[in-house]
Structures are given as C-alpha cells and as structure tokens.
A and B are shown apart, each in its own frame.
Chain A
Amino acid sequence: MLSREEVLKIAKLARLTLTEEEIGFYQRQLTRVLDHIQDLNQVPTSKEGFVQHVPSDAQCFREDRVEPFLNHDGLINNAPVVENNCFLLPTLVEHS
C-alpha cells in the first residue's frame, strides 16, 4: 500500500490540498489501481514501439498568424475577481 507520505507527495506535485479523510481514501484507491496496472510488466516491450501520436493523417502546420478574439468581456466576466479590467489575486507576498 502507498504510504501516507507518498500520497502527500503526489498531492503536493498535483497542487491538491487533501483532507485527513481523503489521504486515507486515496492511499487505498491509488494502491488498488496501481496494483492492477502491474499486469503491464508481463508484456515485453522495446523502446522502438513508442507511440507519440495516435494514428491519423492529422498533425498539420499552419501559419502562426494572430487573429483577433472579439469577446474580451466574455473572458473577463468569468474571472473570480476583477479590478480595472485585470484579474485580481489576493495579496500574496510570501515572507522568506
């Protein structure tokens, strides 16, 4: 089973604050899924078989041209807090 510390480390990397109850819950759930995933080790693989993109004739290039986006208000209105047309954050001076 994943340790409490391991879960807290993953949560920190993922920028997720967990409650006490959640830490135990995810210890069990992550372990359950990771145990299952071990079956992949039965499959011999080599580095050549790596897939970076799914098969498709996709992946095209286009000119890097700036196009105007006309709904500025639509973007700004979704912000949690706005002041003078800017996204407002709480004062976040971190003391060293």
Chain B
Amino acid sequence: MEFGTQTIWDLLSGYQKKQFKPSEVISGYLKNISERDEKLNSFLQVRPEETLAKARALDAKLDAAQNLPLFGIPVAIKDNFLVQGWQATAGSKVLSGYVSPYTATSVQRLEEMGAIIIGKVNCDEFAMGSSNENSAFGPVRNPWDLERVPGGSSGGSSAAVAAGLATVSLGTDTGGSIRQPASLCGLVGLKPSYGRVSRYGIVAYASSLDQVGPFSRTVWDSARVLEVMAGFDNKDATSSKHPVPRYTEELKSNTKRSFTLGVSRAWLEGVDLDVAKSFEAALEVFKQMGGKIVDIDLPHTKYALSTYYLIAPSEASSNLARYDGVHYGYRTQSAKSSEELYSRSRGEGIGREVKLRIMLGTYALSAGYYDAFYLKANQIRRKIQEDFEKAFTQCDFVVTPTSPSTAFKLGEKTDDPLKMYLSDIFTLPVNLAGLPGLSVSCGLDSKKLPIGFQLIGKPFGERELFIAAHQYEQIRGEFPLSSMAKGKG
C-alpha cells in the first residue's frame, strides 16, 4: 500500500480495521522523504532507525489503537521546536549542531498520545520570513511548483505535508507563518488564540505574538491535533486555563449551523484577481449554507504592518540577545575581548534578515525613540484589537483571503523587505489582536496554484472556526493534491 495522502482520520480507521501497522505507515513516509525531499529541501533531520523502532513498539499495541487519539500518526516538527535528542537549529547557523536537552510541551503531548516524529523541518531563520528563503540551510520549494516558494516561515512544515512526507506537522505563527504557507501549499493551517497552546520549548521570536499550531489536509485533522496539545501548561505563564473542548466531537453533528461573516472591503484592495474571485466564491458557499455576509469596518488594520514591524523586532532584539557564543551555539574563532566575542559570534552567525530585525528592534527601543516607536505601536495595537471587538458585535467571524497572492517565485521578493512583508497583510493583525485564525483552501488560480481564505474568530473561538470550516469543506469537497503528493513530482 502507498502512504502519503492519508489524513489522520484515514490512518486511525485503517489501524482499527488492522489494514496496516504503524511500522508499515512510517516506512512508507520515510520512503517518500528519501525519494522526494531532495527536490524540496523540507527536512533538516530524519532519524529513520529510531523512528522505525518507535513505530514497531506501537505495532504491538495495535489492539488498543483506539485509546490513543494520534496512534501511529507521522508528524513533522518545525526546527524551532525543542525535541529532546533531536537538533533544533531554528533555521540558523547560530544553532547549527544544537541538540535539544528537553522537549516542548506541545510535542510531548502529541507523543504521549501516540504520534511519531518523522523528522525536523526547515524554516526561515528564527521564524522570520514569508518564503522560507531566509533559512541558513537553503530554501524550501513548493511541491505544487518547484520554481516557487512554499510560504514561510513554516515552509518546511507546509511543503512536507503537501508533498505526502508527513500526515500533519507543527509550525509556529508570529505574523502569519502557519496560515500563509498553508494557503500557498493547499492545506489547512491554524494559528490558535494567544495562550491556547503552550510556547514552552519553542525558540522565542516575539513572545507576545508567537503561537504553535498544526498544518493538515482537513479541518478534522487540525481539530484533532489542537485538542491533544492545547491547554494550560505550568511551564508557560501565558498559557490559558480556558477549558479545551473536544473539538472533533463537535464536528460529528449533522446539524448545520449558519454564521454571519464580516468582510472589510477596504482591506481587500490590491488582492490578485484570481485570489479575489476564489474568495468571493467561498463567500457564496457560506451564503448557500444559510450564512450572512455583512460589511464591517476595521479602520486600523492598514497600520498593522507598521505596528507589527515595531513590536515583533523589539521583542526579537531582546529574545535573541541570548545568542552570544558563550553557553551554546556558534562561537567566533577570533575574539580578543568579551565584547568582541559577543559581537563577532552574532555578526558571523546570524543571517541577513534576522540582523535587520534585531537592529530595527534595537533602534525602536533605544533612548529617545521608545515613545515614538514602541509605545506608539502598542497604542495602535490596542486600536486594532478594539476594531475586532467592535466587528464581533456584528458578525461571528471576520473573513479575508489568507494571502494577497498565490505562491510566488524564488527570488521574486528577496530584494525589498516591504514587498515580502506585504505577503502577510491579512494575517499580521490577527496576531496583534491575539485571535485565532484558520486558513482553508478554496480554489486554484490560473497557474493551478492553491488559494486559501482565512476565518478569524473571537478569542478562544477555535470550536466555532472548526465547525464553520468543516461545513464549508463538506460542500467544497476534497481539495486537489499537489503533483508531488500523487507521486509524480
């Protein structure tokens, strides 16, 4: 049997019917990686023997497969998560060779429920980027078209699932790094509410914005991963005690619910024609389901990009101060003073875009500029939050395209940082407001590249997002696979 295109649901049903065993599934996925990933560069580390040994241990427990919600599911993990014994480079030369001394809470919860880590996947350095071209270990390519980017920063996470190299994957999303690559690769991508999933054991970028979330082929799979890993964690003081619903139970009901979707027309200006068409078609589907579309006003979202590029770099400049060449990571060979040891290790080890953001943050926080930049940005962040709060008195969700364009070519946006940043205009405000956002595929453009739309929910409204997106998915039908997932890449 061929593996690679199955969902979690497919694999769990197969295990229960004893159609196959975990070791067969894992062997199948490892074979796909060895045959296909040379073209994609999505995996940074695989450990086939250890992974297979774990799968064989599960083979013996096949009779009890239904007791574990992720029994024998191959999961790829972005390389900015710590998994004990595995490398964690976060896509940076600074952390080349770093071996994690402990495991992130999110990953630990997946493993405890039967998931098998199939490998660590590539990403933009320190999760900063929208195309995966900022990785110190080379760019990742899009399985739908190898000349194009998979999106970023979680580009390896999206390419791996879209190419059939993992059933689901984990990524992190600080300004769109799960939703945008999910959209560009034809997948479902969730950025949960801030505080929904523990951040313990992920390499920090901007701590007030970072969240962990899944990539999957279906909404049900996304719900399954979230229900396993969400919830309070004593090791992350910002994780929430808000109860975690059994999201997949909510998707069993056949009762159709109708929702009111808010659209801000002013926000949609400048979107590619094919994306706009596909987005309108998705709105029509919601109308068919009895839903209503209302116009809403989000007057401050146009300032989200500037707000984000002050707050995120400010937090990054502080978080990344730890890479100083002393306790771990890259150390320069040519330091004559402690000052030189830090500056040279950082100068030599850190990549181009990350240095830009560290300097932006340093500037914004420096004496004389703090009020004009960092304080101002936080005041506008509050206004963006208020815009959403007001919108949610009129609608259940705010809906946007996930990205203004489909997958672009490698090198197309690398010269101008702003061009690249604009890939995230629909996703950035969601992180600033701490809200959940779910990207779902809604069509293909004229070049046969995937298009996605984003549902933005109320705080801790993941349950409603899943219900609405699942209903949409039933009407849309199965989304096409990339040529590579079909084994033809």
Question: Which residues on A are within 8 Å of B, measured CB to CB?
Answer: 7, 10-19, 22, 25-26, 29-30, 32-34, 36-37, 39-41, 43, 45-47, 49-62, 69, 71, 74-75, 77-81, 87, 89-90, 92, 94
Give B350's nearest chain A residue, CB to CB: A16
The residue that A15 contacts in the complex, of B303, B346, B377, with Cβ under 8 A, is B346
CA distance A29 to B354 in the complex (A): 12
Known interface pairs A78-B99, A78-B101; A59-B337 also in contact (CB < 8 Å): no
Q: Is the interface of B mostly helix, strand, loop or mixed?
A: helix
CA distance A47 to B366 in the complex (A): 19
CA distance A60 to B235 in the complex (A): 11
Give B381's nearest chain A residue, CB to CB: A51
Residues of B within 8 A of A45 (CB): 376, 379-380, 383
| B348 within 8 Å of A (CB atoms) | yes
CB of A78 within 8 A of CB of B362, answer no
The residue that B363 contacts in the complex, of A10, A19, A58, A80, with Cβ under 8 A, is A10
Task: Give the size category of B's interface with A.
Answer: 35 or more
Residues of B within 8 A of A75 (CB): 101, 327-328
CB of A54 within 8 A of CB of B356, answer no
Q: Mark B303-330, 1 if CB is under 8 A from A, else 0.
A: 1011101100000010001001111111
Residues of B within 8 A of A10 (CB): 359, 362-363, 366
- From B239-247, B276-284, B439-447, the one touching the partner chain is B239-247
Identify the 3 closest CB pairs spanning chains A and B, nearest first: A74-B101, A17-B347, A45-B379
CA distance A50 to B382 in the complex (A): 7
Known interface pairs A15-B343, A17-B346, A50-B382; A55-B459 also in contact (CB < 8 Å): yes
CA distance A89 to B281 in the complex (A): 62
The residue that B341 contacts in the complex, of A16, A59, A89, with Cβ under 8 A, is A89
CA distance A51 to B314 in the complex (A): 14
CA distance A93 to B346 in the complex (A): 21
CA distance A52 to B385 in the complex (A): 13
A20 to chain B, nearest CB (A): 12
B391 to chain A, nearest CB (A): 14
In B344-365, which residues have CB < 8 Å from any A CB?
A: 344, 346-348, 350, 352, 355-356, 358-360, 362-363
Give A41's nearest chain B residue, CB to CB: B376
CA distance A52 to B208 in the complex (A): 9
The residue that A49 contacts in the complex, of B328, B383, B418, with Cβ under 8 A, is B383
| B157 within 8 Å of A (CB atoms) | no
